Amino acid sequence: MQPIPRLFFATAVIFVLIGMGWGIHMSATTDFTLAPAHGHLNLIGFVAMAVFGTYYALVPKAASGRLAIAHYTLAVLTVVVMVPGIAMAINQSGEALAKAGSGLAVLTMLLFLFVIVRFRDPAA
């Protein structure tokens, strides 16, 4: 397996382990106030990252360039900005990071779409 798919998968597992720990903490304290941030960590941090990793594993040519590295970097930045941003918004500490994270999430998906269209033929 190439480095990019492995990086996406490893990062996805790190994010989901954090999410699982957070979920256990919420359950133990019966405080589910930050559940939306927790959900986004699991959805974008684990599910989307794993989907990206799967694509790059199936289409090795797409994983071999700077575009894949940029995609990985943007995806991680999305999670790192969005999840605390949602928590801050819930705690009424401002919505700027949540909004920035949402914008980054859209950019991450648009870049993924570009990669898929560019490398639509696995043999290409």
Look at the alpha carbons of 110, 113, 118, 123 in this order and tell me if their dihedral is positive or negative.
Answer: positive
Q: What is the pLDDT of residue 122?
A: 54
Tell me the mean pLDDT in the region 94-120. Answer: 96
Q: What is the pLDDT of residue 2?
A: 86
Tens digit of each residue's pLDDT (9 = 90 or more) over 5-30: 999 999 999 999 999 999 999 999 99
Tokens at residue 63, please? 């994983």
* Mean pLDDT over the full length of the chain: 95
Q: What is the pLDDT of residue 123?
A: 56
Going by C-beta distance under 8 Å and a sequence separation of 6 or more, which residues neighbour residue 48? Answer: 75, 108
Tokens at residue 74, please? 């943007």
Domain ranges for the chain: 3-118
Is pTM beyond 0.85? Reply is yes
Share of the chain above pLDDT 90, in %: 92
116 has a pLDDT exceeding 70: yes
Distance from C-alpha of 52 to C-alpha of 9, rounded to nearest angstrom: 8
CB 95 within 8 A of CB 85: yes
